[in-house]
Amino acid sequence: MEVLKEKILKDGNALDENILKVDSFINHQVDASLMQQIGNEFANHFKDYKITKVATIESSGIAPALMTAQALGVPMLILKKAPSSILNDNLLHTEVVSFTKKNSYELTLSKKFVNENDHVLIIDDFLANGEAATGAIRLMRKAHATIAGIGILIEKSFQPGRGKLEEQGFEVYSLARIAKLGKGIIEFVEES
């Protein structure tokens, strides 16, 4: 998606070979117009997949997932990183290891919002090692839902996430695939 690539080049900040800061338009400040375009792009790509829900992990995935859900006309599920003291009795749980933050967290989802009739599109801001998406997949499987596909805003193609997900049989649709990062360096995968 050219508009996202241009935004990454203009406003993204590559700190080193693993970290790309996008806090001015995705993580802290959200570019609403860009999120709407992203949502429309995902909805267009997955329009024939009979999606019943869009899911994302809080918090950076919420804006693009919401725009995707709106464009598809389906509800959005937010997978929580910390269990709610109010909802504890009816939760599905799994543990996820974060590559970026170098820690693990419990990912939860209320059983009442997803079931075996759901065909879920998972949206995430970054794909690196595939741990977050794999955690989301585990939760959907615990609910007996099926996975329609995985939409990623920014993929670090030099890391193994895509391969791990595709080996499990999932379609991964990434809007910006990064081939190389370095201090002040952002290079995209050449798409043919």
- Indicate the annotated binding residues for xanthine: 20, 27, 156
20 φψ region: left (φ > 0), alpha (ψ -120 to 50), beta (else):
beta
Residue 89 is given by DSSP the state: G
127: closest CA among 52, 51, 46, 64? Answer: 64
49: closest CA among 152, 141, 149, 126? Answer: 149
Residue positions forming the annotated binding site: 20, 27, 128-132, 156
DSSP H helical ranges for 12-112: 32-45, 62-72
CA separation for the pair 50, 98 (Å, rounded) = 30
Residue positions forming the annotated binding site for 5-phospho-alpha-D-ribose 1-diphosphate: 128-132
Sort 11 into a burial class: Cβ within 10 Å, 0-12 / 13-18 / 19+.
middle
Q: Is the peptide bond before 157 cis (omega within 30 degrees of 0)?
A: no
